[in-house]
Amino acid sequence: MENQIIALRNEIAEKLQTVSDLQELDGLRVAYLGKKGSITTLLKGMKDLSPEEKKSFGAKVNELKEETTEKIEKKMEELKEAEIQKELSEMPLFDITTPADTDRGSYHPITLVQRQCETIFKSMGFAVIDYPEIVTDYECFEALNIPKHHPARDMQDTYYLTNGQLLKSHTSAAQNAILKKYGKNLKENGVPIKAIFPGRCFRNEATDACHENTFFQMEGVMVDKDISISNLIYFMKTMLSEVFRKDIKVRLRPGFFPFVEPGFELDISCLICGGEGCPSCKQSGWLELCPCGMIHPNVLREGGIDPDEYTGFAFGLGLTRLAMMKYGVKDIRNLNSGSLKALSQFTDDE
Ligand code: PHE
């Protein structure tokens, strides 16, 4: 039996010499120390020995067991270290502290105006909320007083997924969720709902200098007791004068959206041609920048808010248009072009 132990010890030493990866090593561990492993079997075989023999043989097998466990652990450390060294040696030599010798990246002009608008609205107590790009028909239309087959849907044809969901055609798709989420605090604690939600929107659109199938909007809602059109105009004017850092000529004209009543189009005088007419403003001298209005009672009700008690306004600022005006981008298609030459020239002037 003593010989068995010696033979096993030699065998283990030999195998450990040649083992070359962690998986193989684990195989050895199982083969010797596992439930049916050779050392375990030796221990189990002791039951037929005399008490004396059991004592001395048992001690020796246990010694072998401990020794083997230790050796396997040591080998495991060695193999792990070798693996790390191998990975390191295969990595390209790269010093992250070296300054870049190529052009530095820059923010996209839309990101810049979005951040400016967020700062302005945050300073006026608005929460900034992120919302998914894939939404349901309910969120995008039904909850906004646009039932199936309503002609207003024609203006907002978008991309549909096979499961019936769609890429949101306007940021208004978040209105219902926001009314529901913050309505509780409004009703229980009298805290007004004040939120903006910037986001990417999609439409099935023939593209030209001022239309794209992918663009950005920034929706805003405010709901409280006694909110009126004056509040809406105040917030819009404050935001525009902050963004452009100068007085901007605006005009408000009636506009129809099923989810607001009354609804308006807020236009700004085209900053590219100075109001004379150019392709960017469809030769009109004016640019639709911010459709807006008082939230329709049906929309409030659908969001769980009693329209007899509360009123609110909503606006859908065209962030893409705003970026074009602010930075003098003549063709909207440049913004999605991925052309660094066109896009890297803008900086945050805050
Ligand atoms: N969601 C509308 C659109 O994209 C704009 C809008 C928003 C109008 C909020 C009124 C109020 O066409």
Whether the CB of 316 sits within 6 Å of ligand 1: yes
Tell me phi and psi for residue 231, to 5 degrees: -60, -45
Please tell me if the CB atom of residue 172 comes closer than 6 angstroms to any atom of ligand 1: yes
Pocket probe for ligand 1: among 213, 257, 266, 317, the residue whose CB has the most ligand atoms within 8 Å is 257
DSSP state of 217: E
- Which of 139, 169, 170 best tests ligand 1's pocket when mutated (most atoms within 8 Å of CB)? 170
Give CA–CA dist 72/70, Å, rounded: 5
Is the separation of the CB atoms in 116 and 243 below 8 Å?
yes
Residue 292, pLDDT above cutoff 60: yes
Q: What is the mean pLDDT of residues 32-43?
A: 87
Per-residue confidence at 329, pLDDT binned at 50, 70, 90?
confident
Higher pLDDT, 271 or 130: 130
For the entire predicted model, the pTM comes to: 0.69
Kindly state the average pLDDT of the residues 232-238. Answer: 88
Task: Summarize the confidence of residues 103-111 as an average pLDDT.
Answer: 83
The mean pLDDT value of the chain amounts to 90
* pLDDT over 70 percentage in the chain: 97
CB contact at 8 A, 335 and 110: yes
Q: Is the pLDDT of residue 2 over 80?
A: no
Lowest mean pLDDT among 14-18, 103-107, 296-300, 325-329: 103-107
Q: What is the pLDDT of residue 44?
A: 82
In this prediction, residues 134-148 reach a mean pLDDT of 97
349 pLDDT higher than 60: no
Q: Which residue lies with its CA nearest to atom 3 of ligand 1?
A: 170
> Are the CB atoms for 239 and 121 separated by under 8 Å?
yes
Dihedral (C-alpha) 143, 144, 147, 151: value to the nearest 10 degrees? -160
Residue 101 — very low, low, confident or very high, per pLDDT cuts 50/70/90? low
Identify which has the larger pLDDT, 229 or 345: 229
Whole-number Å distance between alpha carbons of 294 and 210: 27
Please tell me which residue, 175 or 103, carries the higher pLDDT value.
175
As given in the structure block, the two tokens for residue 103 are: 């052009």
Q: What is the pLDDT of residue 128?
A: 97
Residue 45: the pLDDT is 80
